[in-house]
Structure 1
Amino acid sequence: MDTGFAHAPIGILEVRPDGVVRDGNDAAETLLSVDMGTVAGESIATVFPDSVEGRVPQAFETPDGELSVEEYYPELDRWLAVDIVPAEEAVYVYLRDETDNRRREQQRDALQSDLHRLTIGTELIADVLGDLVAASTREDIAETICTQLGGTDIYEFAWVGERAVGAETIVLQAAAGTTGRTLDRIEAALDDDADLPELRAIERGEPTVVASLGEDESVPEPIRRAAFADGLGSLLAVPLTYGSSVYGVVGVYATERDAFTARERETFGTVGEMAGFAINATRNRSLLAADRVVELTLRLSDPATPFVAATADTDARIDVTGVIQQGEQLLCYVDAATACRSVEAMATTLSAHEAVTETRVVAEHDGGGSIELIQRIETPLGQLVSQGGTVQSATFGAADDRIVVELPPDEDVRRIADAITRRYDAAVLAKRERRRDEQTTGAVRDTVTARLTDRQAEALRTAFFADYFESPRGSTAEDVATALGITGPTLLHHLRAGQRKLLAAVFDATDEQTDSGRSNGDR
C-alpha cells in the first residue's frame, strides 16, 4: 500500500478481486480492531465482523461494481460507512466511522419522539381534566377517563376500577382501547383477589409503574402471558384519590417497554387527584340534589372508634356535634357529659387513643364540656364520611353507641354497610329511605349554604362547632385558624365573606344587591 493510503484519515483495505485481503492502513486496523500483519492473506469475511446484512463479504461474491453501505457491527459497537471501489488489479474498501453521527441522530429522534409524546399527552390530559369537570356521575367519570386514554395512539388501552368499600379488591367499571386478552385476565385476577399493580397503587396512594410487563414477576403470570401475546410492554396504575380516600384506580397500558416517563407519572398523578375530586363532588351533589335519601343507623362498639374507647366502663357520654373532613383526617367537635370526671380528663383520655392526633377543650361546664378533636381517617367514622356519608347524629356511652348517617340513594348502601360491619364491631340497626320535604331544615340549609364556597363553608362550620360565635367565645380566631391549618387573616376573610352571603340569603337579597347597597348607600 502506498504512503498516501497508509496515512489516510479514513480506513483503507486493499483486497484482491477474489476477496483476499492484501493490506490495510492504520485507520482500518483501528476501526476493525485487527492486526493487519496477522489478517493479511485472510478472506474479507474473516477480517470483517458480522453484521445483520453481511453485505461487504457478499459484495465480493459478485464483484460487478461499486458498493456503498452503512451498517452496524455489534461486535465493534460501531456504525461503519463502507465504500467498495474496484480498480484494475485490486478492490479498495474505504471505511468511515459514523457511530457519533448515528448516535446524534438517535438522540435527536428520541427527543423529537419525546416531544411529540409530551405534546399529545399534555393535550390529552387537558381534555381529560376538562371532561371530568362536566362529568355528573361516577360512571361518566370512568367512561371519560377510559375513552380519552384508550382512544389515543400513544396508549393501547385503559381501564378503570372502583375500590370496594372496606376491602382491598377493585371491580372493573369501564375500559376502552384495544384490550385483547389482557383485560380478560385482569378481570379474572380481580375475581380471584390476585395481587395486581393496580392494587399496589391503591395501597401506596401514588402512581405505580411496571416497566416490563413480560418480565416483572410481581404481575400475575396469566396477565404477563396475555400482555406478551397482545404486544404490551408496560403499564401505569394511578389511584383516584381525594384526600386520604381512594375511590378507585385507572390502569393505562402501552406497547413500549418503560413507556411512562417521570413527567407522565407526575401528570397522571394530577389526573388521579382530579378524578378523585370529581367523584367526591358527584357524591356531594347527589346528596344535595336528591329528592330521597337513605338513613343508615348503626351500632358502633368497636374500640377503633376513639369515642367508644373513651366511654367504655364509665358513665360518660359523648355526642358528636360536628364532623369536618380535612384530607387524611377528621376534625370533630363533641359534647362530653363526663359525670365525675373533668372535661380535661376526658380530653386526655381521647388524646391517648392511637387514632387521635390532637385534642383541645373548647368549653367546660358542670358535668362536662365541649372538645375539639382531630382523628385519622382510618376509623369507622372516617370510613363512613369518606364514602360520601353525612353524619346526622352520633352518640357514644354506656347506654348505647349509635350513629346515624345520611347517604345518597344511588350509593351502594348495602356494600358500604357490609364493609363497615365486616371490618369493625358494628351492626346495622335500621335502614330507611325517606323523601326530602322541601321545607325541612336540611333543605333550607342546603339552599342557603349552596351560595358558599367550600372554604367558606368549612370555615363557618368549624367556627360554629368550636363555639367561636358564642359569648363568651369558646375558641379564638387563632384557635379556629389553627384547626383549619390556615392563618388568622385568611380565616377572617372566609368568615366575613361567608356571613355576608348567608345574610343576603336570609334577607332575600342577591350578592349583587348587597354589593351595590354597600357601595352606594353605606357611605
Structure 2
Amino acid sequence: MYEAAWIAPAEAGDDAGAVAIESSSVATESFSETDEESFLTSPFARRLVRKADEADAAVVERRRFESDARAGVESDADDESIAAAVPVACGRQRFGVLAVAGTEESGFAETTQNGLELLGETLGFAIIADRRRNTLIESDAVELEFAFTSPLGDLSAAFDCRCDHLGSVADDGNAHAYETRIAHDDFDEIRSFLDEYAAIRGCRLVERRDEACVVEITVAGAPPGLLAEAGFGLVSLYASNGDTRLIAEVPSDEDVTRVLDALSNHWDDVELVAKRQTPTRGVDLAVPADGAAGLTDRQRSVLETAFEAGYYDWPRGHTAEEIAERLDIASATLHQHLRAAEHALVSSFVGDDRE
C-alpha cells in the first residue's frame, strides 16, 4: 500500500524548512527521486511534515510528474505521488510526525487517514508509557524541584498558609479540576481571593478538616497531570510563603531542558531551583504479609469498587462522582474513604512510626 514511511521528530527552531528524520524506509522505484535521502529532503516531503505539524491533524499532499522524465522509465501517462502525515502525540505532549507515501489512492481514503491518526496517538502513548516505565525501574532517579508563580502562591502569602495538591479530579479538555488542601479555615475568604484570577474557573469546598479547607479548584491552565503525559512522576506540588514549588521524579538520564520546557509551556516564570539524586521510591520496600491490614470493611468495599470501576487506571474508567453515585454516597465521602484506605495501605508498606 505504501512505498515510503518515516517519522520526523518535533523540531523547535526558526528554520521552518529544516526537517530531521528519526526513522525511515523508502522504496524509490515509485518516486521521481533516485535515493531515500533525496526523497525525504524533497520540498514535497518537507512541506507535508510541516503542514501536519502546524495543523496538528492529518494532512494529505499530492504531486504529479512526467513518468518519462525519470531515468530508465518510459510511459505515456502521468504518475501521481500521494502522501499523508499525522501527529505523533499523547494528550498535550507532541513528539513529531508520522508520514507515509505511495501511489495507490486506497491508501489515503478518509477511513485510512482515521487509522493513521489512531496509529499516531498509539505511538505517542507508547512513548509516554516507555518513559514512565524507565522512571519506575531506574534504580537511581533524579528529583527536580521547580519554582513558578501561581494564584495559590499568592494565596499562601496573603493568608500565611500552605497549599498542598492532593490529586486531579476531572478534565474536560479545556478546564481541569483538582483538589488542594489549604491551611486556612475561612473558605469564603479563599474563594473571594481566587475569584480575582482569570485562570481560576471555579472554587468549591469539598470538606473542612483540621482547621483547613479541602478545595476543588477548576483552572483554565494545565493540571499537574501534564507531568504524567510527559512521562515524569509528580512527587509533590505545594505553595508556601508566596512560592509555588513542584517536585518531579525523572530518569537519571533525562534531559532537564525538556522537563523545563514542558512546564514553561503552561506556567509562568518557571525556574529550576534544585536537582537531587535519589533512590527511586518503592524499589526496596518489603511487601507486608497482609497488604489490606488496617482497612475497615467499608474502606475495603469502597476501594475495591473504585478499583474495579477503573478509577486507578489511566485514563480513568470512571470519575469519583460516578463511583460515589454507584455507592449512593457523597463525592466528598468517597474521597475520605479512599484517602483513609490509601493511607492505611501505604503505611503498611513503608511503616508509620508517628505518635
Q: Same fold (TM over 0.5)?
A: yes
Q: Distance in 2 between matches of 1:435 and 1:385?
A: 19
* C-alpha separation in 2, matches of 1:277 and 1:422: 20
Alignment pair present for 1:392 and 2:235: yes
Alpha-carbon distance in 1 for matches of 2:282, 2:341: 24
Residue of 299, 320, 326 corresponding to 1:489 = 326
**Is the CA contact 2:201–2:218 (under 8 Å) kept in the aligned structure 1?**
yes
Q: 1:207 aligns with which of 50, 55, 58?
A: 58
Deviations 1:84-125 (A, max 9, x none): xxxxxxxxxxxxxxxxxxxxxxxxxxxxxxxxxxxxxxxxxx
Distance 1:382 1:355, change over 3 A: farther
2:310 alignment partner, one of 449, 452, 455: 455
1:333 and 2:188 aligned: no
Quote the Cα distance in structure 1 between the aligned partners of 2:192 and 2:313. 26
Q: Deviations over 1:194-235 (max 9, x none)?
A: xx543543454432223x2469xxxxxxxxxxxxxxx76232
Task: Give the distance between the partners of 1:400 and 1:501, measured in 2 at CA.
Answer: 28
- The change in CA–CA distance for 1:507 and 1:444 in structure 2 (over 3 A counts) is closer
C-alpha contact 1:242 1:277 (8 A) present in aligned 2: yes
Q: Distance in 2 between matches of 1:311 and 1:204?
A: 40
The answer to whether structure 1 residue 235 and structure 2 residue 79 are counterparts is no
For 2:190, give the aligned amino acid. Answer: M
Task: Establish whether residue 296 from structure 1 lines up as the match of residue 144 from structure 2.
Answer: yes
Q: Which amino acid in structure 2 is aligned with residue 371 of structure 1?
A: V
Are 1:480 and 2:320 an aligned pair? Answer: yes
- Identify unmatched segments of 5+ residues in structure 2: 28-35, 66-78, 293-303, 350-355
Question: How far has the Cα of 1:421 moved from its partner?
Answer: 5.0
Query: Which position in structure 2 is the counterpart of 1:182?
Result: 39
Once residues 324 and 334 of structure 1 are traced to their aligned partners in structure 2, the CA distance between those partners, rounded to angstroms, is 10
Taking the TM superposition and a 5 Å limit, the aligned residue runs for 1:161-176 are: 161-163=8-10, 172-176=21-25
Quick check: 2:92–2:226 contact (8 Å CA) kept in 1?
Answer: no
> What is the distance in 1 between the residues matched to 2:346 and 2:240?
39
Are 1:158 and 2:13 matched, yes or no?
no
2:353 corresponds to which residue? none
Q: 1:405 aligns with which of 242, 248, 259?
A: 248
Question: Which structure has the higher relative contact order (CA within 8 Å, separation 6+)?
Answer: 2
Pair 427,261 (structure 1): closer, same or farther in 2 beyond 3 Å: same
Distance change in 2, residues 1:364/1:186 (3 Å)? farther
Give SS of 1:457's match: coil
User: Which residue in 1 is equivalent to 2:208?
Assistant: 364
SS at match of 1:407: strand
Kept in 1, the 8 Å contact 2:139–2:279? The answer is: yes
Q: Distance in 2 between matches of 1:161 and 1:412?
A: 19
Whether the 8 Å CA contact 2:147–2:272 is kept in 1: the answer is yes
Task: Give the secondary-structure state (helix, strand or coil) at the position aligned to 1:417.
Answer: helix
Counterpart position of 2:217: 373
Separation in 1 of the partners of 2:132 and 2:57?
A: 24
Match of 2:112 in 1: 264
Q: Is the 8 A contact 2:169 2:319 kept in 1?
A: no
Q: Deviations over 1:277-332 (max 9, x none)?
A: 2222222222222212121111112xxx4434655655343221224785746542
Displacement of 1:480 in angstroms is 2.6
Q: Which has the larger radius of gyration?
A: 1
Any idea what the Cα deviations from partners look like across 1:245-302, whole Å, max 9, x if unmatched?
Answer: 333321122235796111111111221222222222222222222212121111112x
On the 8 A contact 1:297/1:429 being kept in 2, the answer is yes
Q: Taking structure 1 as the reference length, what is the TM-score of the superposition? A: 0.46
CA contact (8 A) 1:235 1:253 kept: yes
Report the TM-score when normalising by structure 2: 0.64
User: What is the DSSP-based 3-state SS (H/G/I as helix, E as strand, rest coil) of the residue aligned with 1:294?
Assistant: strand
Residue 320 in 1 paired to residue 139 in 2?
A: no
Looking at structure 1, the residues matched to 171 and 8 of structure 2 have their Cα atoms a distance apart, in angstroms, of 25
> Taking structure 1 as reference, are residues 394 and 438 closer, same or farther at Cα in structure 2, changes over 3 Å only?
closer
Please report how far the alpha carbon of residue 350 of structure 1 lies from its aligned counterpart in structure 2 after TM superposition.
3.9
Aligned: 1:307 with 2:152: yes
Deviation per CA, 1:317-376: give whole Å up to 9, x if none: 32212247857465422111347xx22442454466444444321112575311123435
Q: Could you tell me which amino acid in structure 1 is paired with residue 10 of structure 2? A: R
1:434 shift after superposition: 2.3
Q: Identity, % of aligned pairs?
A: 23
Shift in alpha-carbon separation, 1:309–1:318, aligned structure 2, 3 A: same
Residues 503, 297 of structure 1: alpha-carbon distance in 2 compared, 3 angstrom cutoff: closer
In the other structure, the counterpart of 2:276 is 432
Provide, for residues 458-507 of structure 1, a one-character-per-residue CA deviation record: whole Å limited to 9, x for no partner: 59x99xxxxxxxxxxxxxxx99325xxx7832999x999xx999999999
Identify which of 130, 135, 142 aligns with 1:282: 130
Gaps of 5+ in 1: 1-153, 190-195, 216-230, 463-477, 509-523
Cα 1:382–1:273 shift into 2, 3 Å = same
Query: Which structure shows the higher strand fraction?
Result: 2
Q: Deviations over 1:116-171 (max 9, x none)?
A: xxxxxxxxxxxxxxxxxxxxxxxxxxxxxxxxxxxxxx212122133369999985
Call closer, same or farther: CA 1:352–1:435 in 2, change over 3 Å. Answer: same
Structure 1 pair 403–284 and aligned structure 2 pair: CA distance change class (3 A):
same
Please tell me whether the aligned partners of residues 166 and 416 of structure 1 are also in contact (alpha carbons under 8 angstroms): no
The answer to whether the Cα contact below 8 Å between 1:233 and 1:258 also exists between their aligned partners in 2 is no
More helix by share: 1
Over 3 Å counting, the alpha-carbon distance change for 1:255 and 1:390 in structure 2 is same
Contact conserved, 2:168 with 2:225, CA < 8 A, in 1? no
Contact 1:380 1:420 (8 Å CA) reproduced: no
Answer yes or no: is the 8 Å Cα contact 1:162–1:173 preserved in 2. yes
CA RMSD of aligned residues (A): 5.0
Letter in 1 for 2:26: G
Structure 2 CA distance for aligned equivalents of residues 243 and 283 of structure 1: 15
